[in-house]
Structure 1
C-alpha cells in the first residue's frame, strides 16, 4: 500500500526515529490522546472497519478453540495458558518473557484491567520472568502475580523464588516443561534445518535426566506440585490462589504445537539448498519477501 503511513511515538528522541515514520516525541498515553484530538471526527471507511471486526472475531474463535479445555495427553502451551486464564481474577498480573510462551500468552490473555499484562519481548530476556515478577509484587502487593516460564528459562534463573519466599512476596509460577529450548528447535525446522541440540531429547546428551522442578522449588521454600493435565492445572491454580506463599505448578507441555504466527519474519535460510527441507524453506522465504511492504 503506497499510502501507508507510520507514526512513531516515543519519549526518547533517539528511539523515536524509524524508517519512513513520522516521529512524535511524547509519552505514549498523552501522545495518543493528542493525536485523537487532532483526528477529530475522522474514522476509517466502514468497509475497512467491518473487515477488521470480522477478522478479529475469526481470530478470537480460532484462539479460543486452540486454548480451550482438552483431553490431550500432553497439552500445548496454548491449552496451558487458556486453563489458567479461565480461572484468573481480573486483577491478576501475568508475566512472561522468553521462548514460545510469549507468542502464546500475548494472543490468549486478554487483560480485564489496565496494567495487568507484562511481557518482555523485545530481547526475549530469558530469566526475566521470576525476577521481574518479584519486582511487580513489590510494586503491586495486593495483586496476584502469575508467571509463565519454560524449563529453559527456569534453569537459567530461578533463585528469586527463594527471595520471594523469605521476603513474603507471593508469586504463582507455572513451569511449562517441554524438555529444552523448543521454540528455537521450531525455528531450526521452519528454516529447513534438522533438530540440533535445542531439544534435550534429541540432543547429544549421553545421560539425559528429567529435572524435578517441583522438588527444586520446594527446596527454596515454595509450595509446589506437578500436574499431568489442564484439568488438574485448573484445580492446582485455585490452590495456588489460596496459598499464602509462592506456589509453583509444573506441567509437561508439547514441544511441537503452537498457535499460528500469521506474519512473515525475515529470518533467512540457505540460498543454495542441500536438502528438500532447505529448498522448501527458501521458497517460503522468497514468497514472504515478495509480499513484504518495502521500506516498512
Structure 2
C-alpha cells in the first residue's frame, strides 16, 4: 500500500498503556527505550503513525488518519497502534464527533508557471511519448488521456500500473513499456525527445533502469499530483491531478500535433504477441505461461479483470495481455508481493461484485499465501484462480541463469531434497472448499475456464507449465548487478555484458 500510494487503515493492538502486566505476550522489550513496541516496525511504511494511549487521543488521531488516506499526494497506509487496556476504556465523547462527514478527493490544478514550462517543452518536441502510469486510474483520467492523445497525435505507452488506461486496440496505444515491455513501445520510447509521464513513479522496470530513454537531447516532463515524483531525474514538473492536468495542458498547447508515428510498429508487435499466445498443437510438451495467457484471454469477457503480482506472470501479462477497457488489468508491481494474488482477487470481487475476477498465480506464490481461498469460499465471493505449476520459482531461476549463475535452489527438482516434491494443488484447494480442475492441456484449460465462468462457486484450475520459455522479442535491459569476480566462465561473460550496458547507459 505504501509503495503503490493506496489508502489502508491498520489498527494493531499494542501493549498496556498502564504497563501493569508487562511484559505481555508478543511484547518486545527494548533495554534502552521503554516506549518502543513491535508496532514501531510499521513507522517506515506508514504515511501517518500514532499510538493511542488515551481514549481522547482519537479525537485528533482519526481526523489525521482520514486526512492522510484521502490526500491525493500524501495517500498511503495509516497505522493507529491501540493499547490493549485503552481499547476497553469508556469516554464521554462529544456528539458532533460522530456526525457523518464526507471527505472529498481533491483535484489540484497545475501552477501557471509550471504549466507554461510544460507547454513550451511539448511545443518544442518532435517525437514526444506519453508514459501512462497508475495515477491515470487513481484520477479517473482515462477519457482525458484518450482526448489528449487523439488531439495531439501523441502515442501512449503503459506501465504495469497504467496498463488498460487505453484499450489495447486504440490506434495510439503502443503497448507496455520497459523491461517487460513491447518492441513497439520501447522503440518509440528510445527515440522520444520528450517523455511525458502521467501519474508514474518512473520505477526501473518502466525506464529500463534509465537506459531506455536514450535520445541524446531527451527531456522528461512529469505530470504528477505528488511533487516528489514530479521532480524526479531532473523532470520538468507539472504538479497537478492527472485529469485536470491533461485537460489544462491540452488547452495550453493548442493545435500542437506530433510527427506521425509508425503504425507498423504496433501491428508488428501484436502479430508477434499472438504467435506466443496461440494454442499449441496437441503433443507431449508442457505448455508455456504465454500459452496459458492466451487461453485465459480467449475465455475472458468484457467484465473480466485479470490480476497478478509476482513470479513469471507479471512480465508475460504486461507484454501479452490485451486489456479491452480501463481497470480490466490489476497488477501489484510496486512491490510485486508474493502471496498478494488470492487476497487481492477477493478484494476486487468484494469491491466490484459484477466483475469476473481471474487470479493468475504461480505455485511459488500460492504456497506462500493461500488461506484467503477459504475466505472467498466462506463469504460466497466467487473468483477463478489459475495456478501455473512450474514446480518452483521459474522466474528467479531464469534470472539466476541470465546473470551467469548455475541453477540453484529455485526449481524444486534442483533443490536439496530427500523425497521428490509432489504437491497436489487440486486436493489442497478442494480441502478449502473450492471447486478444482487439473488441466492436462491448453484445450482442457479453456474448457475448465468456461465451466468456471458459468459456475457460482470459487474455482481453482491447475496446469503444469514449462519453467524456461519467455517471449523471444520485446523487453529491455534491467540493471541486475553481476559479480566482478567469479570462477564461473558464465558469470565472467555476464559481467562483461553488464559493464557494456552500464557504459551504454552512462
TM-score by length of 2: 0.55
Aligned pair in 2 of structure 1 residues 54, 220: CA closer, same or farther (>3 Å)?
same
Give the counterpart of 2:251 among 13, 18, 37. 37
1:29 positional shift:
3.2
1:261 positional shift:
4.9
Q: Which has the higher helix share?
A: 1
1:25 positional shift:
2.3
- In structure 1, distance between residues paired with 2:487 and 2:265: 39
**Cross-structure match for 2:237:** 23
**Cross-structure match for 1:251:** 463
Give the counterpart of 1:170 among 359, 382, 403. 382
Q: Does 1:59 align with 2:232?
A: no
Which ranges of 4 or more aligned residues in structure 1 deviate by more than 4 Å?
none
Aligned pair in 2 of structure 1 residues 289, 55: CA closer, same or farther (>3 Å)?
farther
Question: Could you list the runs of 5+ residues in structure 1 that have no partner in the other structure?
Answer: none
TM-score by length of 1: 0.93
**Cross-structure match for 1:288:** 501
Aligned pair in 2 of structure 1 residues 105, 140: CA closer, same or farther (>3 Å)?
same
Secondary structure of residue in 1 paired with 2:336: coil
Secondary structure of residue in 2 paired with 1:121: coil
1:284 positional shift:
2.0
Q: Does 1:266 align with 2:470?
A: no
* Of 250-259 and 11-20, the range deviating more from structure 2: 11-20
- In structure 1, distance between residues paired with 2:305 and 2:337: 18
Aligned pairs for 1:67-216 within 5 A: 67-71=277-281, 73-216=285-428
- In structure 2, distance between residues paired with 1:209 and 1:81: 26
- In structure 2, distance between residues paired with 1:261 and 1:267: 18
- In structure 1, distance between residues paired with 2:485 and 2:257: 48
- In structure 1, distance between residues paired with 2:244 and 2:389: 41
Contact 2:413 2:421 in 1 (8 A): no
Contact 1:93 1:146 in 2 (8 A): yes
Contact 2:295 2:445 in 1 (8 A): yes
Secondary structure of residue in 2 paired with 1:14: helix
- In structure 1, distance between residues paired with 2:315 and 2:253: 32
1:38 positional shift:
2.7
- In structure 1, distance between residues paired with 2:269 and 2:498: 24
1:15 positional shift:
3.5
**Cross-structure match for 1:238:** 450
Length, aligned pairs only:
289
**Which structure's CA Rg is the greater one?**
2
1:31 positional shift:
2.6
1:56 positional shift:
1.9
Contact 1:96 1:149 in 2 (8 A): yes
Contact 2:303 2:356 in 1 (8 A): yes
**Cross-structure match for 1:3:** 217
1:44 positional shift:
2.4
- In structure 1, distance between residues paired with 2:251 and 2:440: 52
- In structure 1, distance between residues paired with 2:394 and 2:502: 26
1:92 positional shift:
0.2
Question: Could you list the runs of 5+ residues in structure 2 that have no partner in the other structure?
Answer: 1-214
Contact 1:90 1:111 in 2 (8 A): no
Contact 1:84 1:237 in 2 (8 A): yes
Aligned pair in 2 of structure 1 residues 206, 103: CA closer, same or farther (>3 Å)?
same
- In structure 1, distance between residues paired with 2:373 and 2:495: 43
1:95 positional shift:
0.3
- In structure 2, distance between residues paired with 1:56 and 1:116: 21
- In structure 2, distance between residues paired with 1:258 and 1:191: 16
Contact 1:101 1:149 in 2 (8 A): yes
Secondary structure of residue in 1 paired with 2:228: helix
Secondary structure of residue in 1 paired with 2:438: strand
- In structure 2, distance between residues paired with 1:61 and 1:114: 23
Note the alpha carbon deviations across 1:212-256, whole angstroms, 9 max, x for none.
111111111111110011111111100010110111000001100
